[in-house]
Structure 1
Amino acid sequence: MPDSPFLSLPGAVPAEGVDAGVAGHYGNPIVEQRRLERGQAIVDLSDRGIVTVTGPDRLTWLHSMASQSLARLRPGESAEALFLDAAGHIEHVVHVVDDGETAWLVCERSDAAPLASFLDRMRFMLRVAVVDRTDGFAVLGAMSAAALDAALPAEPAGVAVDWVDPWSTRIPGTHRYANEAGHPASDWHLIERIVPRRTMSDAAAAIRSGRVEVAGLLALEALRIAAWRPRLATEVDEKSLPHELDWLQSAVDLGKGCYKGQETVAKVLNLGRPPRRLVLLHLDGSDTVLPAPGDEVIGEKVRPEPVEGEAPERRVVGRITSSAMHHELGPVALAVVKRAVPGDLPLIVESHGTDVAAAQVEIVPADARAAVDIPRLPRLGARP
């Protein structure tokens, strides 16, 4: 991919890792977080991938394979959907918005080609066409439509193709493991606008002229972590189930059956206790060490009758998936830990040769129980 025009803006520092290719920050990630949170700034998400599906069968076809109900998606409506393997593990995550003729799927850039290949193999005789449009289209993000309009005003006859994140909305037919009281999703209002890649230079010009402010990926990631919002590129591995990341609340229609992985979704939901669980960690910032993704999370097992002079046994109970310095919370991280780790157990993160103390906030509770009042889902292949 060509360099983003945003990298030529004053103070731009390239991001690293999964977001390489766009700006990580422009000199002050903390100030940029506040701008973004207030809806005054845009963020370059041109590192995302875009796959389009056209044809009269596009929505019913996607509906048949995805975890989300998409068959009746109206023009301009947004949805999030997962594509699972037969064992219920997450393979692809897509942000879906349909403009009446085309279903636009925003995904991680590294997943665009695999996603397009998977969908193309599943076309059979249906009237659909799948195209990887990452080279021609890009994504701008913001917490308000006003900021996006200031950067790239819609043409007189044009309609913005905006995906509005459903994370902060309680959707009927979904399930949230996390406690409703005080859930930070209410502060997360991300909008992803799909634009021709050639217009990214116009958005950069709008920033230079002062029509809108800018924030980097570090600012967006800090707000995402604080909102407990999972992401494919960071929180997901080859064993991830939607339940472990509390993804049932935005990406899974529990009244929908007959898609690959559906039986595992129903089984884990009905029996309770996902094998692992997502937690937010408040980190000790006294050593100014911010853990990196993949760093081990340690729990100490203390004997009922400790032996004098004997150190507690240390056990690896999980790993860091994302971390950031938040403008209000300080150093925080998301981590996936074993189900059996008590919710009140103090944890340690081994990072850069240093032990970082961590206090956990349960997202998926350790005692997550079987769901109640959830409709029983049909078995795959069952006749009505």
Structure 2
Amino acid sequence: MDSPFATLPGAVVDEAGLQHLGSPLAEQRSLAAGSAVAVLSDRAVLAVPGEDRLSWLDSLTSQALTGLKPGVSTELLVLDPHGHVEHAASVIDDGETTWLIVDRADAEGLLSWLRRMRFRLRVDPRDASDEYAVVGGTRAALAAVAPADPAGAPLVWTDPWPDVSPGGHAYAMTSPHPGAERDWAEAIVGRDEERRIAEAAARGELALAGLVAADALRVAAWRPRWSADVDERALPHELDWLRTAVHLSKGCYRGQETVAKVHNLGHPPRRLVALQLDGSASVLPARGAIVRAGDDAVGAVTSAALHYEEGPIALAVVRRSTPTGATLLVETDDGPIAAAQEVVVPPEAGATANVPRLTRLSRRAAAQR
């Protein structure tokens, strides 16, 4: 689908959508301040109408959804039988249809799986991306757009991260959590409204931001995402995703046994870390870049970004045994980059351990370690 934003001054658009409008750092600042709206062309929208939709999704996924009220935001994971993350979705219901906002690369696979699991239940999942787009920003910023409301309830999903949702559990005990002040919501809008947004931006009436800016704010908040931070081995525990996407005391679903076993009796084999990267080389590592502790390869980068305040940052998944105080090196085509790690998921995570609360280091303090 052709982007209505491609002709805007400075627009850089690729197959994923609007990357930026010439100044990603300024766009980040505007997004964080609530004075811009992000065009999230890398999202897709799935619609799940039908009388059985909530109980059906509840039985298939990690989230308790049977009692979900219209307009309440949550998220879910689809796990394989061994508890690994297969799919992820942001969820909002309008009283008639459950709407799933998903990474575009995951939409076809998730929809195919859902359709195979219908049996004789009254549900009819479909891809609604031809009808709807997604834009994001602070809740105040989204007041400038008109969300879709096919059943009379505006389709605005408010990110629950990093609060602990009912039935969830937090492993990251850093204080303050870097996502605590992040105000983020995503609105499902009709394609006519998407065009209106582009026209308003062209007239200078609405400030926009691209995917680069939105993702940098996500990385800084330690917020996991399917398209970036999930691989075929990922357990929700490793990414601190029990916090918002898993209900630990709901009924049975695929992968639940592993979720419970790791949380109550064991430890996840890997853990998410946040990296403050040496910015002197002005190089960001690619997704999958090897992370080393000394000579040992201990993990890989999942996301990297240039943040408007913190500079070059990244998320990485490393072995649980990686020393929390170790200075790490990240491999790039231009040579290794030094990285100070901040503990997101501690080695003690799981086994219902009481993880000690840690004071978050400033970028300057981390660089001096």
Q: TM-score, normalised by structure 1?
A: 0.89
Q: Give 3-state SS (helix, strand or coil) of 2:95's partner.
A: coil
Match of 1:182 in 2: 176
Sort the Cα spacing of 1:245 and 1:263 in 2 relative to 1 into closer, same or farther, 3 A.
Answer: same
2:208 aligned with 1:214, yes or no? yes
Match of 1:262 in 2: 256
2:333 aligned with 1:352, yes or no? yes
Match of 2:110 in 1: 115
Match of 2:90 among 85, 91, 95: 95
State the AA in 2 paired with 1:353. Answer: D
State the AA in 2 paired with 1:352. Answer: D
CA distance in 2, matches of 1:25, 1:287: 23
CA distance in 1, matches of 2:229, 2:345: 14
Question: Per-residue deviation at 1:82?
Answer: 0.3
Match of 2:366 in 1: none
Match of 1:370 in 2: 351
Say whether the 8 Å CA contact 1:9–1:208 is kept in structure 2.
yes
Question: Per-residue deviation at 1:139?
Answer: 0.6
Question: Per-residue deviation at 1:372?
Answer: 5.5
Say whether the 8 Å CA contact 1:168–1:189 is kept in structure 2.
no
Q: Give 3-state SS (helix, strand or coil) of 2:110's partner.
A: helix
Match of 1:11 in 2: 10
Match of 2:142 in 1: 148
Matches within 5 A, 1:136-175: 136-144=131-139, 146-152=140-146, 159-175=153-169
Say whether the 8 Å CA contact 2:266–2:350 is kept in structure 1.
yes
Say whether the 8 Å CA contact 1:22–1:46 is kept in structure 2.
yes
Match of 2:33 among 12, 33, 38: 38
Question: Per-residue deviation at 1:371?
Answer: 0.7
Match of 2:195 in 1: 201
Match of 1:28 among 23, 28, 43: 23
CA distance in 2, matches of 1:47, 1:368: 32
Question: Per-residue deviation at 1:52?
Answer: 0.9
CA distance in 1, matches of 2:151, 2:121: 31
CA distance in 2, matches of 1:93, 1:151: 26
State the AA in 2 paired with 1:209. Answer: R
Sort the Cα spacing of 1:118 and 1:162 in 2 relative to 1 into closer, same or farther, 3 A.
Answer: same
Matches within 5 A, 1:14-93: 14-15=13-14, 20-93=15-88
Say whether the 8 Å CA contact 1:279–1:337 is kept in structure 2.
yes
CA distance in 1, matches of 2:134, 2:151: 20
C-alpha RMSD of the superposition: 1.8
State the AA in 2 paired with 1:324. Answer: A
Q: Give 3-state SS (helix, strand or coil) of 1:8's partner.
A: coil
CA distance in 1, matches of 2:42, 2:17: 6
CA distance in 1, matches of 2:170, 2:280: 34
State the AA in 1 paired with 2:126. Answer: V
CA distance in 1, matches of 2:35, 2:303: 25
Say whether the 8 Å CA contact 2:96–2:151 is kept in structure 1.
no
Matches within 5 A, 1:273-284: 273-284=267-278
What is the CA deviation profile of residues 257-313 of structure 1, one whole-angstrom value per residue up to 9, with x for unaligned ones?
31000000000001242100100000001111111111111111xxxxxxxxxxxxx
Q: Give 3-state SS (helix, strand or coil) of 1:168's partner.
A: coil
State the AA in 1 paired with 2:7. Answer: S
2:247 aligned with 1:248, yes or no? no
CA distance in 2, matches of 1:267, 1:217: 37
Sort the Cα spacing of 1:237 and 1:198 in 2 relative to 1 into closer, same or farther, 3 A.
Answer: same
Sort the Cα spacing of 1:69 and 1:257 in 2 relative to 1 into closer, same or farther, 3 A.
Answer: same
- Find the structure with the greater CA-based Rg: 1
What is the CA deviation profile of residues 130-149 of structure 1, one whole-angstrom value per residue up to 9, with x for unaligned ones?
111122211111122x3223
Sort the Cα spacing of 1:156 and 1:321 in 2 relative to 1 into closer, same or farther, 3 A.
Answer: closer
Match of 1:224 among 218, 223, 246: 218
Question: Per-residue deviation at 1:5?
Answer: 0.9
Question: Per-residue deviation at 1:156?
Answer: 12
State the AA in 1 paired with 2:144. Answer: A
Say whether the 8 Å CA contact 1:166–1:250 is kept in structure 2.
yes
Q: Give 3-state SS (helix, strand or coil) of 2:183's partner.
A: coil
Say whether the 8 Å CA contact 2:40–2:210 is kept in structure 1.
no
2:326 aligned with 1:326, yes or no? no
The ranges of structure 1 where at least 4 consecutive aligned residues each deviate by more than 4 angstroms after the TM superposition are 153-158
CA distance in 2, matches of 1:290, 1:153: 35
Unaligned runs of 5+ in 1: 301-313, 374-384
CA distance in 2, matches of 1:172, 1:59: 17
Sort the Cα spacing of 1:341 and 1:270 in 2 relative to 1 into closer, same or farther, 3 A.
Answer: same
Say whether the 8 Å CA contact 1:147–1:212 is kept in structure 2.
no
Question: Per-residue deviation at 1:110?
Answer: 1.6
Q: TM-score, normalised by structure 2?
A: 0.92
What is the CA deviation profile of residues 40-68 of structure 1, one whole-angstrom value per residue up to 9, with x for unaligned ones?
11111122111111111110110111101
Q: Give 3-state SS (helix, strand or coil) of 1:184's partner.
A: coil
CA distance in 1, matches of 2:328, 2:46: 40
